[in-house]
Structure 1
């Protein structure tokens, strides 16, 4: 397991230091809050991505309509 260049031994060391600094009760609360923030962040990220996808689709539709109108306006030879 190698997430962001951090292997299992490094992750274990970070957890141990956090446990010693925060203590068991604060560590639990911190973990719970961190999980909540990560869920909120992912939710907002997904909303933002959906908004971008919708705008791209709208622009593509507008371009297709514009090119279709230009083709209809040109006289046939």
Structure 2
């Protein structure tokens, strides 16, 4: 058993210390709170990952639909506005 890089002996020591500090009546409540917090973090992480993938797919589709010359400019990090503004400053 290896959770977060913590083995069974370390986990047992943490549980004993927590039992001594909080007492047997508070321990289940603390465990539930920790479980809810971890579950919420996992859900937020999944939601972020899904949203990130969705946005990446949209950008990829937008680049594919651009004319070849425009998509080359995007790939090179240039745009018409940048080229126009730099020629106006010369």
Instruction: Give the TM-score, by structure 2 length.
Output: 0.70
What SS is found at the alignment partner of 1:64? helix
What residue is the counterpart of 2:3 in the other structure?
3
Runs of 4+ residues deviating >4 angstroms: none
**1:70 and 1:7 mapped to 2: Cα distance?**
55
Matches within 5 A, 1:1-77: 1-66=1-66, 69-70=67-68
CA RMSD of superposed structures (Å): 1.4
**1:32 and 1:13 mapped to 2: Cα distance?**
19
What displacement does 1:7 show? 1.3
> How many residues are aligned here?
69
The answer for unaligned runs of 5 or more in structure 1 is 72-77
Instruction: Give the TM-score, by structure 1 length.
Output: 0.81
**2:41 and 2:33 mapped to 1: Cα distance?**
12
**1:29 and 1:48 mapped to 2: Cα distance?**
29
